Amino acid sequence: MAGLPDTARRNSAAHKPDPRYQKLVAELASTQAVRQTQQFFQKNRQWITDQQIQLCRIAAPTFFEEKRAEHMAAQFRSFGWDAKMDRAGNIVAYSDANREGPFVALTAHLDTVLAPRQATDIQLGKDGRLHGPGVSDNGAGLAALLAFAAAWKAEHTISASDASVVLIANVGEEGEGNLSGMRFLCRQSPLANKIRSYLVLDGPGTDHITCQALASRRFEVTLSGPGGHSWSDHGTVNPNHALSRLVHLFNETQYQAAAPPTPRTSYNFGIVEGGVSINSIPTQARAKIDLRSEDPRRIDEMARDFTEAVEQSVEIENDRASAGKLLAKLREIGARPGGSLPTGSLLLPYLRAVDAHLGIRSQLDCASTDANIPLSMGLEAVSIGAGGQGGGAHTPEEWYDPEGRERGLQRILLTLCLLLAA
């Protein structure tokens, strides 16, 4: 996968839309079906926001998306779509009797990093913003999916080819879900060889087009010892002490290896835990680390550095201890492949033309989304925002402002119609 300079070059080269596709967009936007669908989005602004509040109040932490999935399926059916849950837990909705394809997939992930503990955790504030965990990531994407489902059937928007749209609310995008829902769709689902392009809706905004997949690897390390009393057993191997040393050692190697500005690379100890009381030597300590880079080779280097840091921290603790022996268990808990749009794909030229028509200024970026899986397989996929604005993702202070959502929905509609007619 190429690094940041390639992304920058593509931003510059692809900034000007192709006049041929601009003409196609203008012709498409002038059709009665598309104009009526766009009017549907305008007329139903509050209804779409209400739908978003309702679905966000259904907790859907990764691995526990079933209730929200069932809600999405019921909504799809109420709009006239044939919606079913597949073996991975994804909801797949068909607009017509076509089951053989080809399909253009419009997708949004169901799961959230944080989940509301009660319905009132999701609120519409006096400022017109939605507040609460998951309202933006990915409440915005799911609400767009429902808005599209309702508008498509209400206004009878029809493509000019044999392709059909399929709507997918998928599981396992966040954290240790490891893109499980999209992996199933692309590799094991009966749809796997029938979808010719993926338009992934993830979060808010219209300012980015993710067409380069950011690779990552994730590890869990567990350090174990006999434990004991902080006074009477002082000197016994201490997993917490070794874990602290591990974090320090790995940090030091990465500072020394850093060579900005490319490839952009990151690492994060997202979970560090161990011990049961202040006066007990713990029997176990655990950490989870996330490694990311625009260059997958750099991730492999970091993984080797991390393994060496684990071994070194255990060795130092065992050498210094007067009793007990520390053991380490290292486990890879996730790996997201990198990739980029295949040469000759129309997805990016279409999106550029649509953005020019709507007056949207967008930039290409590299990120980790559901699009990683199809992009890694050489399939056509991009991830875009669903309109509006948001912030505080993955925190209790997450928010979403639906102002301007309609332009994002128009962008999705026009791009999808172009892909269907290709």
Please report which confidence band the pLDDT of residue 12 belongs to, taking 50, 70 and 90 as the band edges. Answer: very low
Residue 411 phi/psi, 5-degree rounding, is -60, -45
Give pLDDT tens digits for 77-96: 999 999 999 999 999 999 98
Please report which confidence band the pLDDT of residue 11 belongs to, taking 50, 70 and 90 as the band edges. Answer: very low
Cα–Cα distance for residue pair 244/272, rounded to 1 Å: 9
Residue 339 one-letter amino acid: G
In terms of Cα–Cα distance, which of 216, 209, 201, 219 is closest to 269? 219
Question: SS3 for 387?
Answer: strand
Cα–Cα distance for residue pair 387/362, rounded to 1 Å: 12
pLDDT at 79: 96
Per the DSSP assignment, residues forming a β-bridge with 185 are none
Instruction: Compute the average pLDDT of residues 185-196.
Output: 97
Per the DSSP assignment, residues forming a β-bridge with 208 are 363
pLDDT at 260: 60
Cα–Cα distance for residue pair 222/131, rounded to 1 Å: 36
Cα–Cα distance for residue pair 265/94, rounded to 1 Å: 40
Q: Are 5 and 212 in contact (CB under 8 A)?
A: no
Both ends of the chain: CA-CA distance in Å? 27
Per-position DSSP letters for 316-329, written without gaps between them: HHHHH-SB---EEE
Please report which confidence band the pLDDT of residue 15 belongs to, taking 50, 70 and 90 as the band edges. Answer: low
pLDDT at 1: 32
Provide the residue ranges of all domains of the chain, joining segments of one domain with +: 4-214+338-421, 215-336
pLDDT at 158: 58
Give pLDDT tens digits for 33-77: 899 999 999 999 999 999 999 999 999 999 999 999 999 999 999
Q: What pTM, to 2 d.p., does this model score?
A: 0.90
Cα 127–Cα 109–Cα 178 angle in degrees, nearest 5: 125
Q: The tokens of 32 are what?
A: 């009665």
pLDDT at 422: 82
Q: Which helix (H) or strand (E) holds 417?
A: helix 405-421
Helices (H) and strands (E) in the chain, counts: 12, 19
> Over 50: is that where the pLDDT of 303 sits?
yes
Find the farthest-apart pair of alpha carbons in the chain and give their distance in angstroms, rounded. 82
Q: Are 326 and 314 in contact (CB under 8 A)?
A: yes
Whether omega before 102 lies within 30 degrees of 0, making that bond cis, reads: yes
Cα–Cα distance for residue pair 239/275, rounded to 1 Å: 9
Q: Are 274 and 282 in contact (CB under 8 A)?
A: yes
Is-same-fold flag (4-214+338-421; 215-336)?
no
Cα–Cα distance for residue pair 29/235, rounded to 1 Å: 74
Domain 215-336 in this protein, CATH class: alpha beta
CATH number (3.40.630.10, 3.40.50.1370, 3.40.50.720, 3.30.1360.120) of 4-214+338-421 reads: 3.40.630.10
Please report which confidence band the pLDDT of residue 8 belongs to, taking 50, 70 and 90 as the band edges. Answer: very low
Cα–Cα distance for residue pair 329/143, rounded to 1 Å: 42
Whether omega before 268 lies within 30 degrees of 0, making that bond cis, reads: no
Please report which confidence band the pLDDT of residue 9 belongs to, taking 50, 70 and 90 as the band edges. Answer: very low
